[in-house]
Amino acid sequence: MKLKIYGSRGSVAFFGRSNTQYGGNTVCSMLDIDGHIVILDCGTALMQFYYDMKEKFKSGFKFDILLSHLHLDHIIGFSTFSPIISADSDIRIFTKSRNEQPLISQVFGIFRPPYWPLEIADRTNAKLVEIVGEEPFFLSDSIKVTPFLSEHHDETVAFRIDADKSLIYMLDYEINNNSDKYDKLVAFCKNADLVVFDATYLPEDYPAKRGWGHSTFDDGIALAEASCCKKMVFSHICQDYSDEVLNSLKSGFDKSKYTIAFDGMELEV
């Protein structure tokens, strides 16, 4: 199981002289499980995935997408992702239903006039698959996905993916004082090989952002210790934090267990 993090910022994409090391794309990652490709969220970095796999797209390319939720920074990559409307692509998109509209309208509803020149919902050939509560489902005979309802706005979902190894993907999650929920979260992450964790804010900045649906680096470390996960990668980093700030922060981590995501990071799970 291999993970490539194409984008690791939250809220908005931002590129400048201060963040050339960590990058400025909003979240999107690719998980390769013995050739079975799974995309985790579709932020601005989705285009880099397309460029990396361009040759495969020419002859048809089958892959799955897991969408944690439909906030714009997690789906904006669809806007210029031509395979989503290509007859040669074989794409399944798994996400939770959030209203009574068809799932295809929920996922692509923003991509229509006057907000976008093309109405993607009328053109896509992707298959939309509804995630039901926290009921596990399978992407293949050997790839199990277990959803976990997140502490974030608009019914966000975290994922545990179990195959030869186990990966937790939990961006847009706010650790709070609900002990029952926290105990369930610890159990959900128990002994995972890798946890991709929402560390949007520095601890000193969090009080002003309380209730916004995001956590801190310290929250992630506490969860990692409680759940005995093997490795944690901090992602969905606030766009305000420069390379200098993140490097200073990283210098205090146990580097064998904790690291900060950057655009283009590759990890063996």
Looking up residue 133, the CATH number of its domain turns out to be: 3.60.15.10
Contact present, 226 and 198 (Cβ < 8 Å): no
- Give strand pairing partners of 131: 96
55 pLDDT higher than 90: no
Confirm if 162 and 148 have CB atoms less than 8 A apart.
Answer: no
> Mean per-residue pLDDT for 9-35?
96
Q: Is residue 157 a contact partner of residue 95, using CB atoms and an 8 Å limit?
A: yes
Neighbours of 201 (CB within 10 A): 26
pTM for this entry: 0.96
Q: d(Cα 91, Cα 108) in Å, to the nearest integer?
A: 14
d(CA 241, CA 237): 7
What is the spatial distance between Cα 71 and Cα 168, in angstroms, rounded to a whole number?
Answer: 20
**128: its two tokens:** 């939309």
**pLDDT tens digits for 205-215?**
999 999 999 99
Q: Which residues contact 132 (CB under 8 A, 6 or more apart)?
A: none
Query: To which residue do tokens 């460029």 refer?
Result: 51
Closest of 8, 84, 1, 73 to residue 42, by C-alpha = 73
Residue 54 scores a pLDDT above 90: no
With bands split at pLDDT 50, 70 and 90, how would you rate the model's confidence at 180? confident
Tens digit of pLDDT for each residue in 67-98?
999 999 999 999 999 999 988 789 999 999 99
Residue 216 is encoded by which pair of tokens? 């801190």
pLDDT band at 177 (very low <50, low <70, confident <90, very high): confident
Count of domains in the chain?
A: 1
Note whether 235 and 27 are within 8 A (CB). Answer: yes
Which tens digits make up the pLDDT trace of 186-240? Answer: 999 999 999 999 999 999 999 999 999 999 999 999 999 999 999 999 999 999 9
- Would you place residue 142 in the very low, low, confident or very high pLDDT band (cuts 50, 70, 90)? very high
Range 118-146 average pLDDT: 96
User: Of 101, 105, 96, which is closest to residue 150 (Cα–Cα)?
Assistant: 96
Taking residues 135-162, report their average pLDDT. Answer: 97
Determine the pLDDT at residue 208.
96
State residue 57's pLDDT score.
82
Report strand pairing: 194-198 vs 166-170: parallel
- Tell me: cis bond preceding 114? Omega within 30 of 0 counts: yes
Query: Half-sphere exposure (CA, 13 Å, Cβ side) for 160?
Result: 21
* Cβ-based neighbours of 89, under 8 Å, separated by 6 or more: 57, 60, 61, 62, 83, 125, 126
Print the domain residue range for 241: 2-268
Q: Average pLDDT, whole number, for the chain?
A: 95
Which SS3 state, helix, strand or coil, does residue 47 take? Answer: helix
Under the banding of pLDDT at 50, 70 and 90, the label for residue 179 is confident
